[in-house]
Structure 1
Amino acid sequence: MKKHIHILGICGTFMGGVAMIVRELGYKVTGSDTNVYPPMSTFLESHGIEIIPNYDVEQLQPAPDLVVIGNAMSRGNPCVEYVLNNQLNYTSGPQWLHDHLLKDRWVLGVSGTHGKTTTTGMLA
């Protein structure tokens, strides 16, 4: 049986990307968000990822194997509180990427005001 990963804040650009990577690695992926609209929502759904609007705790029952909590989530969110109070396994998006995809690779970050695209192209 596939491991189930649920992503809180799945419709953000970063978390949507994480969802696609997780799915490509063979996991069952679901997620929730308050801002569920195209193009991200239709893109994820077209790839078999179920999106649940809002943050009702019922979406965490039965408990997924892991909850990835988006950086836009904070204490007071019903799902975040449920994860903490019920000791569900959880991590952040960047931590999941580190642990499952990037830990044995060199990672370069490019930042600044000008030249990011050019510099990234040169590094690729």
Structure 2
Amino acid sequence: MKNVHLIAACGVGMASLAGMLMEKGCRVTGSDANVYPPMSTQLENLGIRLASPYAAENIPSDADLVVVGNAVSRGNPEAQEAVRRGVPTLSMPQAVARYFIEERESIVVAGTHGKTTTTSLA
């Protein structure tokens, strides 16, 4: 996995994943229907090229993996293009699990109140 394209890249989780993938040495591109700060600024500062609106041609020809954001429908032209080309696709949670959590012990903090405080204690 060297070239990763993120569909719906401007969400907080997807933008964070983009940075983590870059730290692993991946070349990352992305697209979103709505490209605006602060996430677009964060991605641009990382050197990630963003495309908008969604279009099949946004997926680079050398993409090894496409990560599909949770807000993306099956009718999305980029998701359909990835399937048509046979490019492997993962959801954001699947990508995080496969490339960053697998074979590690993890702790999940959930709930309405206290997640940040609890996390800071770890």
Q: Structure 2: how far apart are the matches of 1:3 and 1:114?
A: 38
The CA RMSD over aligned residues, in Å, is 1.5
Q: How many residues align?
A: 122
Q: How does 1:19-58 map to 2 (within 5 A)?
A: 19-58=18-57
Alignment deviations for residues 67-89 of structure 1 (CA, whole Å, 9 cap, x no partner): 01111111111111112233221
Please say which of residues 73-82 and 55-64 is displaced more in the overlay: 55-64
Contact 1:68 1:92 in 2 (8 A): yes
Contact 1:70 1:92 in 2 (8 A): yes
Answering whether residue 90 of structure 2 is matched by residue 86 of structure 1, we say: no
Contact 1:63 1:88 in 2 (8 A): no
The letter for the 1-side match of 2:91 is S
Alignment deviations for residues 41-91 of structure 1 (CA, whole Å, 9 cap, x no partner): 111111111111111111124141110111111111111111223322111
Partner of 2:68 in structure 1?
A: 69
Partner of 1:102 in structure 2?
A: 101
- Gaps of at least 5 residues in structure 1 are none
Distance 1:120 1:24, change over 3 A: same
Partner of 1:113 in structure 2?
A: 112
For the pair shown, the structure with the greater C-alpha radius of gyration is: 1
Quote how far apart the aligned CAs of 1:104 are.
1.4
Moved over 6 A (4+): none
Quote how far apart the aligned CAs of 1:113 are.
2.2
SS in 2 for 1:37: coil
Please say which of residues 86-95 and 31-40 is displaced more in the overlay: 86-95
Alignment deviations for residues 9-61 of structure 1 (CA, whole Å, 9 cap, x no partner): 00000000000000111000000001100111111111111111111111124
Contact 2:5 2:60 in 1 (8 A): no
Alignment deviations for residues 78-111 of structure 1 (CA, whole Å, 9 cap, x no partner): 1111122332211111111111111111111111
Contact 2:29 2:50 in 1 (8 A): yes
